[in-house]
Amino acid sequence: MEQRKNAYPCRLPRDVEGETDPMAHGRICANVLPYAISQKDTKYVRKAVGAIPVLGALPMKIHQMYRAATKENKGVLRNEMAYELAVHLVTHDCALAQGMVAELFSSYDKMLWMLFQDTNTLTPLLAEKLKSV
């Protein structure tokens, strides 16, 4: 998806046929997609290390407690990315945003349901899926 991010069609469904909003699509390509990939990569590594008996369990707990105590602005960036994706999903006919949501939820049907929701409903759902834990 990342390699072909600019190849996905994106248009404003309520405007003139074929009219696009390259700035909004660019923000999804440049900000949200790399963030989502980074979070999922981090989650994958943590789960892999945590699956190693004895070696993984204790260091992971220590790391989680340290991060919880020291991290500032907990979830702010995640919520911003989730909101950006939610807005783009409901305001544009964008194959990239639709593909990202379908991939995050592992469900095309869930993505279709989300197309008809508002951003207040979608943002917390997307933010939960963008967690790296």
pTM: 0.78
> Is residue 86 a contact partner of residue 97, using CB atoms and an 8 Å limit?
no
pLDDT 10s digits, 106-120? 888 999 999 999 999
Domain segments of the chain as ranges = 23-129
Residue 22: closest CA among 4, 3, 6? 6
What are 4's two structure tokens? Answer: 């072909």
Kindly give the parts of the chain with pLDDT less than 70.
13-20, 49-51, 53-60, 133
Question: Exposed (0-12), middle (13-18) or buried (19+): which is 21, by Cβ within 10 Å?
Answer: middle
